[in-house]
Structure 1
Amino acid sequence: MKQWLLKNNLSSGELSPLLHTRTDVQQYANGAKKLLNAIPLVEGGAKKRPGTKFRGIFAGALRLIPFVPNSDNPFLLILGINTLQVYDPLTQSVVYTGSTPYNTSAKVAQIQVAHSRYRMFFVQGDHPVHRLVCSKDFDNWNFDQFTFVTAPVDEINTTPNVALTPTGVEVGKTISLNAAAFPNWSSTENYIIGERVIYLGQTWRAIADSTGKVPAVDSTDWESVTAGDASVFIPAHVGAIISINGGQVKITSYVSPTGVLGEVIVKLNADVQAIAKSWTLNTAAFTAETGYPSTVTFFKQRLVFANTKNNPNQLWVSAIGNDGDFLEATDDASAFSMASSSAQADNILHLAQRGGVVALTGGSEFLISSAGAFTPASAQIEQHTTYGAQSNIRPCLVGNELLFVQRGGNRLRALSYRYEVDGLVSPELSAIAPHIAEDHGGIKELTYQQTPYSLVWMVLNDGKVASITLNRDQEMNAWAQHDFGGSVRSICALPQAAGNDLCFMLIQRKASVVLEQLDETSFMDCEIVHNGPLENRNLHNSTQYRFNNSDGYFYDDNQPTSGTWFAGQPFNMEVEFLPPDHSQVPNTAMFHKIQAHETVLYVRNSIGGQCNQYDLEHKSFNQSAFQNLTYTGPVSVSMNGWATLHEMELKITHNKPLPFHVQSVAMLVSMNER
């Protein structure tokens, strides 16, 4: 008996080969064996992906970062070794070029940013914090090292065993802080590691806790020190905070081994001498020796840094409304610091906003939040899941979910709040298609293009690209693979007020790095308009020419002699379906013989295409036969021959620089148990 089988849903996208026998799960019915250069749509079916427009050659460019002060004025940051360029997609021009300290490709990949309106902070663990700022009219730009009002201090402070005398107490005053000499060694004193004494005219430092142990060259309790190690203060202490007599003083300049100048930032109770071990010295947390922050974010008007070489699990949170004020106090608006901790690796790799500050570490996912106002007293840090994140791959916010790449680089997870567990959960998005990342060396970069198709784009480590059509409301999690004919280095989406989100890529084409923009009106990659430089056509592996007029869409291997045309690199779309199994588990029809008599594709605004290598014919033999206009409607393809169901092939391809969108496929088949 003949029957029609319908396929109009690809909401599960390309499935892992490990799922090709799982006819019992819904994903099988909604999935495909292969999706290449095709975008599964929420509405059903799949559409040939857009081509790209050529936007310029950017030698040495490595990475794209969005800079969006508002949706009317999106900008694109193009980073290379020691370079930063600001690109305006509306004028298609570079509006600012600056130099950066990031002098290797690895450092460029490690850069993390936090953006708020007209300023963006840059961090990378080997270099001081930098900031990019622009004027409100976007005419003036500046990228420079950021100067803190009060820099973050190390969580470990020292209490020198020497007396210190301040010369003032009032806030804002510059005062002197003068230290006495180190005390002489005493046989009855209990000394702890780090304390220094004078003995026989030399300065000694305790390397072990001891009492009554005489300092000597061969001692295991003491070591002789000179120069900076024998000084109370050293030039590196500039910027450090001294807590003395109930107040705080920020060291502003070095005077001598026993004296510094400082600005009073919290009023002192008195200017009397503070006895030894009654005052503390908090050195700067961000230095060349201790390392600089590796990740950063904004949260509730506070700037948050984390992960230095010496303190990989520490967070520093600024005062409210002041990016440069990290003076820690107990006031609600003051700065504070805290640390993450778990049985797993807890170096903080990424910070993001999601109902608090999400800290993704090498082994766990934490949330820093508070029941009410986010203050030093109310902030709490809690561990929620224990998957671990991959370093150097920035998380991506999609709706109310934070997408991050799991440790190992092959798995993608979506972190979100779940009411029934009253906490964050991280289900895996890549469970149905892990082969895509695994076959291409893992995931390198994420970006989210909200419109027109709600796509998460992923650059893979071999230069190929994957996408997910992600729509939780419609239960859509559809993976697909893409080949842009070159090695993709970076991808970045930019929202804009009107129209679809913009999406740009850096693609290595032969010896050039090309900036290209995805464009719904393009049907080839790296399309160059007719009046563009002729030499740019050498970027293509093969070149075709397309143009359109009132008679429709046309293409040729030879350059047109007039009109507006585009030269580009054509690409092939493939959609290969899984064989349909309409039996109910545990029964199966996979080993029955099947004959497909006819296949009917419903296409929309399309031209051309093939089904199992049979051309899709939709033209009428009338006066419009020489036109090449798009067609919407059913297209029938006659088929014949018997095959075992699990060996049946149904593949749709399209290799011309023309539009193509298939909404559904129906097959008239006969089934035979023999």
Structure 2
Amino acid sequence: MAFSWIQPSFAGGEIGPSLYGRIDMAKYQVALRKCDNFIVRQYGGVENRPGTRFVAAAKYPDRKCRLIPFQFSTVQTYALEFGHNYMRVIKDGALVLTSSNAIYELAMPYAEDDLFRIKFTQSADVLTLVHPNYPPKELRRYAHDNWQIVDVETNNGPFEDINVTETSTVYASAPTGIITLTASQEIFGSEQVGKLFYLEQPAVDSVPVWETSKETVINDIRRAESNYYRANTAGKTGTLRPSHTEGMAWDGWGGTGDDDTGIQWEYLHSGFGIVRITAVASDGKSATATVISRIPENVVGSTKASYKWARFAWNSVNGYPGTVVYYQQRLYFAASTAYPQTIWASRTGDYKDFGKNNPIQDDDRIIYTYAGRQVNEIRHLIDVGSLVVLTSGGEFVVTGDQNKVLTPSAFSLSSQGSNGCSNIPPIAVANIALFVQEKGSVVRDLAYSFDVDGYQGNDLTILANHLFQKRSIVDWCFSIVPYSCAFCVRDDGKLLALTYLRDQQVFAWSPQSGPGKYESTCSISEANEDAVYFIVNRTINGQVVRYIERLSSRLFTDDIDAFFVDSGLSYDGRNSGSRTATISGGSGDWSYQQDYTLTISGTAYFGSGDVGAQIQFPYSEYDSDAGEVVDKQLRCDIISVIGSNAVTISANRNIPAALRNTATTNWLMARRTFAGLNHLEGQTVNILSDASVEPQKVVSGGAVTLEKPGGVVHIGLPIDAQFETLDVNINGQETLLDKKQLINTVTLVVNASRGIWASTPGGKWYEYPQREFEFYDDPVDDATGKVEIKLDSNWDKNGRVKIKQTDPLPLSVLAVIPRLTVGGF
């Protein structure tokens, strides 16, 4: 029995061997047995992965580095190379240079081993960086080549819990200026130098609150909300309207009109004081400090020691916050070493202020410690419409008041699952969180579900479990345009692509193989799409190197711009200015058998080394064989140099009428030898020259020589892209898995593709014969639509088809239609 069967989509991606028998599963009908160096598109087809362009070598070939995105806006974006105690800046595919053409570099505190524990969040030109072993930092951008790294200096905290042990007391030597703090016990350590310290007066309620129509004498002290005032004149108290400013002596007055009693009030303090410690004594019982917020007089002097004190929450002993995020106009930190379940949030609208009022106000700072059944470290805070907390043991959403606003009195964690999260930063895709589960071998999503009025998620790796056995993900990024794809770096250097589109139920994995080991990645917006950068560990000419490479765009309209080589470089000889080229000296039909003069306008252009190069002219002409207007190329070999602006040429065809004695700006300078390939010394490279495939070459002396000159040339490491279908099975009919099959032909539905090869398992590869009406020297036209390839398969039980692309050309397959003949058992 002979029949055709169609696989109309590949939206299932590559699935693992453990699922080869799951013909009952809907994903089986759209999945692949192998999908190497192809990317599954959102609409269901597969495209061979574009190549990576070489940007630069990382600073240290023998040290790891990490890429971190910095996006001020959609047009001002950077990829930051974080390495051992340094940072370099990449913009638009190149390292940023200083005015003296040196690579711009900024000294950084982070060591190589700490780079992948850095977490970050951004607000405009400031990137906030946190790490458990380093004080929080701010990376500030002032210009492409002007950046600054500084410590985050907070106000009014955050502090540890206030001491409640009455035998442990502290007093200050003075209310302002440089003072000495003296403690009854050893509470000061060297880790507190440079940190804030909190000291509160005891028995706050002993001070009367503000009362109107009450007699006041000089030196009376009154409290209004959390502020304290002293009367410097006597009289009857009116309505207090203070506009207190620290350090100003006469800044509060009584009411006006009938209430105005003329009492002058001096603002004292807020019931507590804050100092910054500058030195500590060796016994740990005293410290020198600078007053930041006036110390209450009730704790000044040895007879007024207070047990209400608190040290700064973050230091080298307690550790520093491990994650950070902006949410609802607050800056949230969480999870230091000593407080792995604590969240600290700034005041609303003031990201550095961790102060509070008395009584507490809704815009005051928030300090919340989650008390769970297990002490699971908070790993990440992420904004996906709600504030989601991912811990090592579970997922939580933070709930607030009835308006979903988070305040000190309305802040709680609601459990959404118990999968746990690794230290790899999660990715926010719209209002969905993608995260790597604890141990790093499972990727999950987390999205709000109306069905349960909460957040639910799926295991996105269950169908491709073979890609994660005994492996984990160490870094990843997400490219929204054009791929809707997460690029994941595995711990062994393998790159995996996850096409993810939740509303279409698309999650498809495809491994990306090659000779290098990927170590880090990031994605930033550039031009009309998201540019993906990689750090790749390669062995070149026997030496280990680390390169920064950028995934090339697949949004091209002409194969001349097709870039399908890795770690590659391009030469573009297209005239991009106002220079014109004119061919003269012809007669009759301007035959290709005679020589002509070619003149370039403008300043001196040609030199003796240009003999053997070529000037090319793209043009359009009606082709009677094809029956339509087609694009063509006139190639003119330079055989001698007449002067700095004129050469003698020999053309490959008759000079078309449109180019005779006519100045045109549409021309290219084509060359044969290309240098500057030192980063690929000794490597065999693929070459695409003027949209035609050149024979492979070996880079020697940093250069290669082509068989013929090229005007637009791409050179880099080969990419072998290949996919294989699953065994054919037809739902609702008797299974074919146990029957012998013969596949004589396969029809592919392709889009803008060239260099199409097909085979069956163990069979010979056959190429689709694509050249038709093209001139012998012109590139082959792309194929779009249905193409049929003959196969010489054998009778067996492997009803599968294999498709590959080894040339640096585009291949986009939308459907596979094998023609099968099925035998008996």
TM normalised by structure 2 equals 0.70
Report the CA distance between 1:268 and its aligned residue: 4.7
Matches within 5 A, 1:290-301: 290-301=318-329
| Alignment deviations for residues 211-266 of structure 1 (CA, whole Å, 9 cap, x no partner) | xxxxxxxxxxxxxxxxx57x899974951111224412112345874575553648
CA distance, structure 1, for counterparts of residue 344 and residue 781 of structure 2: 61
CA distance in 1: counterparts of 2:809 and 2:67, whole angstroms: 29
Please say if residues 158 and 282 of structure 1, whose CA atoms lie closer than 8 Å, have aligned partners that are also in contact: no
What is the CA–CA distance in structure 1 between the aligned matches of 2:744 and 2:338, rounded to whole Å?
A: 70
Instruction: Report deviation, 1:176.
Output: 5.2
How many Å apart are 1:671 and its aligned residue? 2.3
How is 1:377-396 mapped onto 2 (pairs within 5 angstroms)?
Answer: 377-391=409-423, 393-396=424-427
SS of the residue corresponding to residue 72 of structure 1 reads coil
Cα gap change, 1:41 to 1:633, in 2 (>3 Å): same
| Counterpart selection for 2:730 from 566, 570, 582 | 582
Q: Is the 8 A contact 2:199 2:295 kept in 1?
A: no
Q: Is residue 2:108 matched to residue 1:100?
A: yes
Answer yes or no: is 1:353 the counterpart of 2:383. yes
Is residue 122 of structure 1 aligned with residue 151 of structure 2? no
SS in 1 for 2:680: helix
Secondary structure of 1:106 counterpart:
helix
The 1:591–1:324 alpha-carbon spacing in structure 2 relative to 1, beyond 3 Å, is same
> Judging changes above 3 Å, is the alpha-carbon distance between structure 1 residues 322 and 566 closer, same or farther for their aligned structure 2 residues?
same
Which of 543, 546, 571 is residue 688 of structure 2 equivalent to? 546
Aligned to 1:205: none
Q: What residue is the counterpart of 1:5 in the other structure?
A: 5
Contact preservation (8 Å) 2:758, 2:789: yes
AA aligned opposite 1:140: N
Cα offsets for 1:351-388 (capped at 9, x unmatched): 21123332211111122231333211112222221001
Match of 1:501 in 2: 530
From 715, 727, 749, the equivalent of 1:567 is: 715
**Inter-partner Cα distance in structure 2 for 1:47 and 1:374:** 45
Letter of the structure 2 residue corresponding to residue 529 of structure 1: S
2:787 match: 635
CA deviation vs aligned residue, 1:586-628 (integer Å, no higher than 9, x gap): x523112222232111222111121114323243454545532
Give the counterpart letter for 1:665 in structure 2.
V
In structure 1, C-alpha distance between the alignment counterparts of 2:757 and 2:107, rounded to whole Å = 51
Shift of 1:74: 0.6
CA–CA separation in structure 2 for the residues paired with 1:442 and 1:10: 25
Task: Report the CA distance shift for 1:620/1:133 in structure 2 as closer, same or farther (over 3 A).
Answer: closer
Residue 487 of structure 1 aligns with which residue?
Answer: 517
Extract unaligned runs of 5+ from structure 2: 99-103, 205-270, 555-561, 572-673, 698-704
Contact 1:597 1:638 in 2 (8 A): yes
Fraction of identical pairs, as percent: 23
Are 2:768 and 1:617 aligned?
A: yes
Q: Does 1:367 align with 2:408?
A: no
The alpha carbon displacement at 1:650 in A equals: 1.1
Alignment-derived partner of residue 312 in structure 2: 284
Q: 1:55 to 1:261 in 2, by over 3 A?
A: closer
Listed one character per residue, the Cα deviations across residues 260-302 of structure 1 (whole Å, up to 9, x for unaligned) are 5553648859678797885311111111111111111111221
Partners of 1:52 and 1:259 in 2: CA distance: 57
Q: Are the structure 2 counterparts of residues 164 and 233 from structure 1 closer, same or farther at C-alpha, using a change threshold of 3 Å? A: farther
Q: Does residue 1:248 correspond to 2:277, yes or no? A: no
Query: Hey, what's the Cα distance between the residues in 2 that align with 1:472 and 1:446?
Result: 18
Q: Which amino acid letter does the alignment assign opposite residue 199 of structure 2?
A: I
Residue 454 of structure 2 corresponds to 423
CA distance in 1, matches of 2:752, 2:182: 83
Distance 1:235 1:400 in 2: 40
Equivalent residue of 1:332, what SS? coil
> In structure 2, what is the Cα distance between the partners aligned to 1:569 and 1:443?
25
C-alpha displacement at 1:41, in angstroms?
Answer: 1.6
**Structure 2 counterpart of 1:382, which letter?**
S
Contact 2:47 2:812 in 1 (8 A): yes
Amino acid paired to 1:501: D
Deviation at 1:414, TM superposition (A): 0.4
Q: C-alpha offsets along residues 305-346 of structure 1, whole Å, 9 cap, x if unaligned?
A: 111121111111111222221224422222121112322441
Following TM superposition, by how much is the alpha carbon of 1:164 offset from its aligned partner in structure 2, in angstroms?
Answer: 5.7
Gaps of 5+ in 1: 183-195, 197-227
> 1:7, 1:118 → 2: CA distance?
49
Distance 1:442 1:162 in 2: 49
Which position in structure 2 is the counterpart of 1:459? 489
1:601 partnered with 2:604 = no
Say which SS state the counterpart of residue 337 (structure 2) adopts: coil
1:527: which partner in 2? 568
Distance in 1 between residues matched to 2:287 and 2:492, nearest whole Å: 57
Give, in whole Å, the separation in 2 of the partners of 1:643 and 1:434. Answer: 31
> Normalising by structure 1, what TM-score?
0.85
CA contact (8 A) 2:750 2:812 kept: yes
Cα drift, residue 411 of structure 1: 0.4
Match of residue 223 from structure 1: none
Compared with structure 1, are the counterparts of its residues 17 and 335 closer, same or farther at alpha carbon in structure 2 (3 Å cutoff)?
A: same
Candidates 504, 515, 520, aligned match of 2:548: 515
SS at match of 1:473: helix
Q: CA deviation at 1:640?
A: 4.8
In 1, the alpha carbon distance for the partners of 2:127 and 2:774 equals: 60
- Alpha-carbon shift at residue 404 of structure 1 (Å): 0.7
| Matched position secondary structure for 2:314 | coil
SS at 2:451 equivalent: helix
Partner SS, residue 557 of structure 1: strand
Q: How does 1:122-271 map to 2 (within 5 A)?
A: 122-135=129-142, 138=144, 140-155=146-161, 157=163, 159-161=165-167, 174=177, 228=186, 236=193, 238-245=195-202, 246=204, 247-253=271-277, 257=285, 261=289, 263=291, 265=293, 268=296
Give, in whole Å, the separation in 1 of the partners of 2:792 and 2:70. 56
Of the structure 1 ranges 236-245 and 339-348, higher mean CA displacement relative to structure 2 is found in 236-245
Counterpart of 2:467 in 1: which secondary structure? helix
1:158 shift after superposition: 5.1
Structure 1 residue 156, shift from structure 2 partner: 5.8
Residues 35 and 345 from structure 1, CA distance in 2 versus in 1: closer, same or farther, beyond 3 angstroms?
farther
SS in 2 for 1:309: coil
Q: Secondary structure at the match of 1:664?
A: strand
Alpha carbons 1:608, 1:615 under 8 Å: kept: no
The answer to whether the aligner puts 1:29 opposite 2:29 as a matched pair is: yes
Q: Residue in 2 aligned with 1:224? A: none
The residue type equivalent to 1:545 in the other structure is I
The Cα of 1:149 is off from its aligned counterpart by 2.5
Q: Secondary structure at the match of 2:28?
A: helix
Residue number in structure 1 paired with 2:331: 303
Deviation of 1:112 after TM superposition, in Å, equals 0.9
Is the 8 Å Cα contact of residues 88 and 94 (structure 1) preserved in structure 2?
no
1:536 maps onto 2:679 in alignment: yes
Distance 1:365 1:275 in 2: 50
- Answer yes or no: is the 8 Å Cα contact 2:191–2:317 preserved in 1: no
CA distance in 2: counterparts of 1:376 and 1:286, whole angstroms? 20
What CA distance in whole angstroms lies between the structure 1 residues aligned with 2:293 and 2:407? Answer: 20
Aligned partner of 1:62 in structure 2 is: 65
